[in-house]
Each structure stands twice: as structure tokens, then as C-alpha cells.
Chain A
Amino acid sequence: MAELAEPMVVDGGSGDRGTWQGRWDHVKKFLERAGPFTHPDFEPSTEALSGFRHIHVVDMDVIDVSNLNRQFLFRPKDVGRPKADVAADFVNSRVPGCHVVPHFKKIQDLDETFYRQFHIVVCGLDSVIARRWMNGMLLSLLIYEDGILDPSSIIPLIDGGTEGFKGNARVILPGMTACIDCTLELYPPQINFPMCTIASMPRLPEHCVEYVRMLLWPKEKPFGDGVALDGDDPEHIQWVYQKSLERASEFNITGVTYRLTQGVVKRIIPAVASTNAVIAAACATEVFKIASSAYLPLNNYLVFNDVDGLYTYTFEAERKENCPACSQIPQDLHFSPSAKLQEVLDYLKESASLQMKSPAITTTLDGKNKTLYLQTVASIEERTRPNLSKTLKELGLSDGQELAVADVTTPQTVLFKLNLTSQGS
């Protein structure tokens, strides 16, 4: 999973600025001169510039050969090294005076004390889950006094994403403008084939590959017990490819190739240097605007598509009144007392506005903290599994009870208020 969060600081300057005659000519005009379209609060300054100097980069990935065709900071000699390290080295040597600090980590491995130091956070993440997590982190840093948001606690989040020839860039001012969760429905659902198709009624070459990946591999354990299928291991892919061909020939399905096999196993989405360049540039423009206060930032969502000509569409995504992430309104759950806990779990996962992945539900009963269900730790999962088939009444839950739900999609637990209705919803 490729991640790049670039929090940065605009420096007043100290030590070697690595500067030379004319270095800032292309930028300083925007900072020294007010104009008819600049931000009303903008005050031009004639102080010498220093550019963006302090940048932290967080990325959990190492460089793969397939990255080289569009990730221009990496070279063949870098394959295998952490992306954050190599990116930092490259920029630091190419841009004098710039100081990029790499973190070869998951974004979730860092906490509030880390993120609090930044003026702006920029994300080029490749999953919705990670975006929601970062979104939740910045929301958790907001300070409210007497219900009023303290603007100095806001860290703007600039988020960019691409898929083939399409991309989007958005500006989020946590607590003020639409957040990631407010617009969760904008993200297209991931395509997953139904199990019966895969198990007994394949029609497409993709179904055959999924059959091998999901059913045959766990059964035959071709590389040993407990060895998981690694999409980056050519031997693994070769095995899946051969088996997929066999499956396909059983059903007279044509079209299984090595490339298709790998694409399905790795859920590969085609990537292009150009789209990434466009979206990265749009995000960088916003960083510049926000950091310099020279212009009003993008308000607040840009969509780009260059399949047919070039098309952009800019609109203001609206905040959701009852957004589970940013509205601060406790979320209501409506269930009948005879509903099973499984139904609550399903709702948390399937509701379009929540889309949780593996929610862990806890509550307070008789003054004590009780885990109702937790999936991510095997022993606890086994112990709490019977609760799923118990009714809410049987579990001792009452109307108005607060449920605390933790999930990978958010760094903070989400509180829900249980409304036990006479008719379930």
C-alpha cells in the first residue's frame, strides 16, 4: 500500500538557505504583490522567501520494479529500499535548503503528538480506509471551547487520488468543510464477485483466478502451511496462473493470462504518470495557496478526467449534518430488542455512510467495560462469537445504551446511542 502523507512547515529561515540569484523569481511575485483576485486578508510581504523547507514523508512501502515507470524519484538501484527514505534523499540533494524527514511506517503507527506539529497534511493514499483514518486523526486534534471550534487547532488536509485517467483533489478544513466521511458515497464500491459464481458458476477468466486465490490456495497450501499468497512473488503467481488455466478449461473459458492473473490477485488498478502529475500539481497549488494565504483555497473538490479531451469539474462537497466522523452528533442506532447482535454488526459494515470493515463493539454494563464482539484478535473473536446470535435484550442492553465502536477506518472510537424500538429498523 503506497502512502505519502506530507506534513510541512513554512520556515522563516535560519542557517543555510541554499539560495542564489533569481532563485525565487517565479514565486515571489505572488507573495509580494496583491492583486484583484488575491485573498482579502492577504498582506504582501517583501521579505525574502525560503520555500517549503520542513517536510515529513510517511510511507510504509518499499520500492518495486513496477513503480519505476511513474514514480520519478526512484531509480532501478533503489528497488527494495523504503520509498520514504529514497524520496527524502532525492529531494534533499536536488533542492538545496530543503529538509525532508522520512518515516518508513504506516500512518497509523504515528500518533497525535506527531501529527499535531504540522501546518498542513497532504495525502496521496491508495485506499479509502487510510484516508478515513487520517481524516479521523485530524478531526481528533480539533479543540472545541464551549462548543466553539478553535481555528488554530485546524490542520488543513489536502487529499489527492487517481485511477487510470481519472483523478480528484480536494481540500478539507476539518471541522469546517466536508470531510472524507461526509462524502463516503462518492467512492465507487469495490467489485467483489459473489461466492456462488466463483465456487460453481465461473463465466469470466477473473472468476477462475478468484477461485484459485480464495478456495484452492487455502486448500492446497502449495508453498507450505500458513504461507499466504504473495502477489509480488512470481512463483506464487505462476502457480495461481496454471491452476486458473485448468479451472478455465473445465468451463471452456478463454482469456486467462499471466498478466490478468496478477492483476486480479493484486487488485491492480492501471496507473499513469500523467494523471498523477496533474493531481499532485493541483494539490501542491493548494498547499501553496493555504501556506501563503495568497488565494482562497479550492472550495473544495476537483474532479479530473482525460479519457476524451480533458475535463475538470469543481464543486463544493457539502458537510453531512450527521456525519459519523465530523458532526460530533452521537450516531443513533435503531434496533428492536429482539434483534441479534449480528444485525448490528452487519449494519455497521453495510450502511453506506459507515462502511466499517471489522468493527469491534464494546459497552458498559454494570459499571464494567464489556466487549460484545471483536474480530481482529482470534482468541477474543472466539470468545465473543456466541454473542452475535444473542438478542440485544439477552445481552442486557437497554434503550439509550452507549456502544463504543472501534474500526480501522478511524483512529478514535465512534460512539453510538442504541434506540431500542418496538419495531426494528
Chain B
Amino acid sequence: MADPKTVKEQKYDRQLRLWGDHGQDALENAHVCLINASATGTEILKNLVLPGNPGIGAFTIIDGHKVSGEDVGNNFFLSNNNIGKNRAQAATELLQELNSDVSGNFVEESPDKLLDNDPEFFHRFSLVIGVQLPESTCLRLGAVLWSVGVPFLVCRAYGLIGYMRLVVKEHTVIESHPDNALEDLRLDQPFPELKNHIDSYDLDSMEKKDHSHTPWIIIVAKYLAKWHSEHNYQLPKNYKEKEAFRELIRQGILRNENGALEDEENFDEAIKNVNTALNPTKISSTVEDVFNGEQCENITSQTPAFWVMARAVREFVRNEGRGNLPVRGTIPDMIADSEKFIKLQNVYREKAMQDASVVSKHVEALLQSVGKPPESISEQDIKLFCKNAAFLRVVRCRSLAEEYSVESFNKDEITSCMDSPDSEMVLYLMLRSVDRFYQQHSRYPGVYNYQVEEDISKLKLCVNSLLQEYGLTVNVKDDYIHEFCRYGAAEPHTVAAFLGGSAAQEAIKIITHQFVPFNNAFIYNAMSQTSTTFQL
């Protein structure tokens, strides 16, 4: 019988490659709540349950509805022999079947009832996902979750429109895994060990073999020194100067006895990388904002590890780092012989370790100052934090209350988007309008064919009252009002599935604190296959 750990690793192999053991642990301890096992809900949960254990440890479905024939028609996780039974239970069974390692629970109760009788019930969850919720329920639940800091993800599929809203007060990300990160080479201000290493090379006296297998970083550094001495210690700044610098490097390529250029790929690499290698080392404004955050300033015994480490790095930057973050310690692969590459890589690696241990001392001091033991934050975590220091992100979403209040709603965002009347923003306004319709008529517009005609004018009144209440002078085209009546609040499976994938990924980001979640409203238009994110 194979080692269970290996079997687990085999099953989750493809995921482990993406968010590592760290992320898997966070998932294992997560308990996700889904409200409403509609098609959208089960599609979201399916994507969370499948990755399994490690994967979310547990889920609970809250749903007061009974399974209808309509439900079975668009939901892969309900079958027609479930009709009449409680929807939460039926869906839990079919989802549980996907993965025996995850613990599935259900509550046959409407969220409104729970909010009436036992709002604390929601406090236990790592994340609450509310699907196809009426506006009032959504706002009530939003207020409860906001007060206890439980992240809330609102999702709905309405006709051919998908909508997601993330509500989380403050979400920190250490491992954001940016797509196109610049390297941290410090060529503009080499630290002493790097400078010594560069000095140990003498390009002019090298044999061809060594010359052609010298890492491009060394080459750029050497020619930069030449440039410096002729240009008053300034870096090449504009296109013209960089071009001249590239030419300088080109001059260094060896020639054979006939004067023809030898094939030196490492020099080609050096020339190609001039553009990015000479970027001045500096701290991005995003990271500066992290350092200036209130949480970073006031460290208490309650302060989460992220902020303690951020403060420690800030101390480093302002002291030993002389304005710079800890060295990242990685270099890209490049043409070079093994020995030269490894030596150079080790120079960066060792500096990174050094810097990380200085940061560690700062962490210790901070923890001590608030009476916490130094082991509260592990060396491993500090190293990881330092390695990702340039990519720290903090996401803060406004509450639903702020979005909905006439005093604080984001008028500018709505108005400027509506300058193009076909922007996805009109779909947001329509969703708000159908909610208004529901409040007034206890149903959504156009559910039955005979209603469509009448409801268009009724819905238009809702649109106008919405715009008036918020003082919005934007134009909502009649076409959209007609279209939203036409939808009849249908939840087509393909839209539910698109949201299922999108929402599940955002949920995983929230739980693992890796990769960056959206902020804060996402609209998908299946007619045009387009989408936009707004900050509301």
C-alpha cells in the first residue's frame, strides 16, 4: 500500500505546483459557507470541493428551498428524484460524492431565519459565499460579516449576466506571484559582496571560453563601471544613452583573427537585458503604502504577523537597507558555465539570507516589545516575506453599506463609466433595478411570458427611481430594460459555470492569501463575452 502522503501528493500534484504546501495547509483548515445551492452555488462549490483535502477542509450549505423541477433543469448537482426534498441536503450529497476527504454539512434554513435567530452562526466560517440573494438578505448578512471580519463573496447569475462582489475589510497578500516581475539585480547600487565579485573578473584578460561563458550580469556591471567613469556616475537614462551603452557592450565582443565578430551569446543576452537591468532599484508605491499603513505603525500584541513583518522590513529599509528592501536572492538563468553561474547566484543568495536575518532581529525586537515570544513568527515565514517584499499587496474593499448608502456610494465611478452607455456599468444598474422591482412586487420581472410586456414599463419606473434616489443623471438605454425583462431571472447553466470557476478562484485566493483577489465588483456579459471590474 503506497505511503498515504505520496498518494495525497499524487492526487493534488498539479495544485501543489501552483500554491505550494503553504497554500494547501490554509485550504485544509478552511470552512466555507455557501448560501443557496442553485446552479451557480453548486458550480462554485464543485470547484472548491474537487481540489479536496488538502483543499477546503469543510463546507456548509445553507438553503431553505425545496428542490423544484426548474432547479434540476440547470443544476448538475441535483437529479429529478430530489424534487420536493430540501435543496441543501440534496446538493450536499452530490457534492460530497466528489471528494470523500472534504467534510460536507447542510442547514435547512433560510439565511434570513438564521440572521433572525442566530447571526453568530456565521462567525465560524473562513468565507461566506452568498448566491442569488435578495438585496435585503445580502445587506443584512453583509453587516454581520463585516462586523466580525469574515470575508463575504456575493455572486449571482441573472440571465446572461454574471456578477460578483467581494467584501473584505483588509486582505493581505505576501505571495502575489506577479506575472512579469522585474529582477532584483542591484546593478545600479551593487552591495559590497556583489561589487567584490564583479571586481574579481577581468574580461580583457580572459580566454575565449571563459569570456563567452561569463554571465551577462557581470558583463553589464563591468561596462556600467566604464560608463560611470565617463558619465559622471550617472546611469544611462534615455533611449539614446541606453543605445550608446549597448554599443559599448557590443565593442567588447571578441573578434577572430579576420576581425569578424565571434559568436558570444552571453554578450547578446547582456545587450538584450540592458533595458531592464538598468532600472533603478526602488520601492514601488504599493509597497510604500504598506509601510505607511496604520497597522504597520501601531504594533500591538493583536497585530497579525503580516504587519509585524512589514514593520520589521520597514525598519530594515530605513536602517541597514539604506532605503532598499532585503535582496530577493534570485537571478534568472543565463548563458554561463556552471561554476560562474552558481558562484554569482550564491552571492545574491547569501546576501538575501543575511538581509533576512537582520529583518529577523527586527521581528524579534518587535515581538518582544509587545510581550510575544520570538517563535510566534517562524524563520521560514520571515524568509518568505523578505523574498516577496517587492510584491506585497493589501486589498481593502468597501462595505456593502458604503456601496448602497446615498451618502457614500461611488458616484464618480458610476458616472464616468456610463459615459459609454454600453459599458458593463449599465448591467450593474440593471441588477440594482431588478432588486428594486423585487422589493416592490415580490417577484422578478418577466418570469412568465405574459408578464414581459407589462414589466418593461414597471422596471423602467424602478430604474428611474433608483437613478433619482442617487442623483445619477446617466442614460440607461431602453434596450437593457427590455433585455432584463426578457431574462425572466433565469440562471442558465453556462453563466452559472463561468461564475463557478471565477468565484471559486477568488475564494481560494482569499483562503490561501496567495495571488491577488479582485476589488471589488466584477460583471461578466455572456452575450459579448466581456467583463469589467469596478470599485464600488
Contact = CB atoms under 8 A, between A and B. Distances in A.
Nearest to B164: A310
A184 interface: no
B46 A72 contact: yes
A37 interface: yes
B342 A253 contact: yes
Contacts of A309: 516-519, 522, 533
A33 B452 contact: yes
A60 B492 CA distance: 31
Contacts of B506: 306, 310
Contact of A295 (B16, B345, B449, B527): B527
Interface string A160-194: 00001100010000000000000000000000000
A29 B13 CA distance: 42
Contact of A203 (B80, B160, B341, B497): B341
A226 interface: no
Interface in B130-189: 159-160, 176-179
A366 B43 CA distance: 64
Contacts of A12: none
B483 A36 contact: yes
A259 B46 CA distance: 27
Contact of B47 (A169, A201, A271, A274): A274
A277 B500 contact: yes
B14 A25 contact: no
Contacts of A197: 335
Nearest to A287: B494
A280 interface: yes
A312 B530 contact: yes
B530 A253 contact: no
B65 to A, nearest CB: 13
A21 B528 contact: no
B463 to A, nearest CB: 15
B487 interface: yes
Nearest to B496: A281
Nearest to A285: B494
A23 B505 CA distance: 29
| A165, A169, A285, A298: most-surrounded residue (chain B CB, <10 A) | A285
Interface string B502-515: 10111010000001
Contact of A281 (B483, B486, B501): B501
Contact of B449 (A30, A32, A252): A32
Interface residues of B, number: 90
B453 to A, nearest CB: 11
Contact of B15 (A201, A272, A280): A272
B193 interface: no
B322 interface: no
B525 to A, nearest CB: 10
B396 to A, nearest CB: 14
Interface in B81-105: 83, 97-98
A96 B78 CA distance: 12
B502 A29 contact: no
B454 interface: no
B492 A27 contact: yes
Contacts of A70: 14, 50-51
A218 interface: no
B338 to A, nearest CB: 4
Interface string B460-496: 0000000000000000001110110011101111111
Interface string B329-368: 0000111111101100100000000000000000000000
Interface in A11-55: 20-27, 29-30, 32-33, 35-37
Given A274-B508, A278-B501, A288-B494, A72 B527 contact: no
B27 to A, nearest CB: 12
A302 B73 contact: no
Interface stretch (B4-12, B200-208, B250-258, B376-384): B4-12
Given A36-B479, A165-B515, A203-B338, A281 B213 contact: no
B319 interface: no
Contacts of A117: none
Contact of A30 (B7, B69, B80, B492): B492
B515 A308 contact: yes
Contact of B505 (A21, A66, A274): A274
B490 A26 contact: yes
B70 A25 contact: yes
A164 B52 contact: no
Contacts of B341: 203
A270 B498 contact: no
Given A20-B80, A252-B342, A306-B505, A312 B529 contact: yes
B74 A27 contact: yes
B418 interface: no
A314 interface: yes
Contacts of A268: 13-14, 17
B70 A22 contact: yes
A75 B11 CA distance: 11
A32 B16 CA distance: 46
B303 interface: no
Contacts of B244: none
A236 to B, nearest CB: 15
B179 A307 contact: yes
B492 A26 contact: yes
Interface in A65-79: 65-66, 68-70, 72, 75
B529 A314 contact: yes
A312 B525 CA distance: 11
B46 A69 contact: no
B72 interface: yes
B531 interface: yes
A281 B74 CA distance: 13
Interface in A248-286: 251-253, 259, 262-263, 268, 270-282, 284-286
A219 interface: no
Contact of A202 (B338, B502, B504, B526): B338
B338 A25 contact: no
B98 A72 contact: yes
B223 interface: no
A270 B17 contact: yes
B275 interface: no
A94 interface: yes
A22 B68 contact: yes
B79 interface: yes
A285 B526 CA distance: 7
A204 interface: yes
A30 B490 contact: yes
Given A70-B14, A276-B501, A285 B528 contact: no
| A20, A26, A280: most-surrounded residue (chain B CB, <10 A) | A26
Interface in B1-43: 7, 9-18, 39, 43
B227 interface: no
B261 to A, nearest CB: 19
18 contacts: A26-B39, A26-B490, A26-B491, A29-B486, A36-B480, A65-B10, A68-B50, A69-B50, A72-B50, A251-B339, A273-B47, A274-B505, A278-B505, A281-B497, A285-B494, A295-B527, A306-B506, A307-B177
Interface of B: 7, 9-18, 39, 43, 46-47, 50-52, 55, 68-74, 76, 79-80, 83, 97-98, 159-160, 176-179, 213, 333-339, 341-342, 345, 446, 449, 452, 478-480, 482-483, 486-488, 490-498, 500-502, 504-506, 508, 515-519, 522, 524, 526-531, 533
Interface of A: 20-27, 29-30, 32-33, 35-37, 65-66, 68-70, 72, 75, 94, 96, 164-165, 169, 197, 201-204, 251-253, 259, 262-263, 268, 270-282, 284-286, 288, 295, 298, 302, 305-312, 314
Given A66-B13, A310-B531, A312-B530, 20 more contacts: A22-B72, A25-B73, A26-B493, A30-B492, A33-B486, A37-B483, A68-B50, A70-B14, A94-B76, A96-B80, A164-B18, A251-B339, A252-B338, A262-B13, A272-B14, A273-B51, A277-B497, A307-B179, A311-B531, A314-B528
Closest 4 CB pairs of A and B: A277-B501, A22-B69, A278-B501, A281-B497
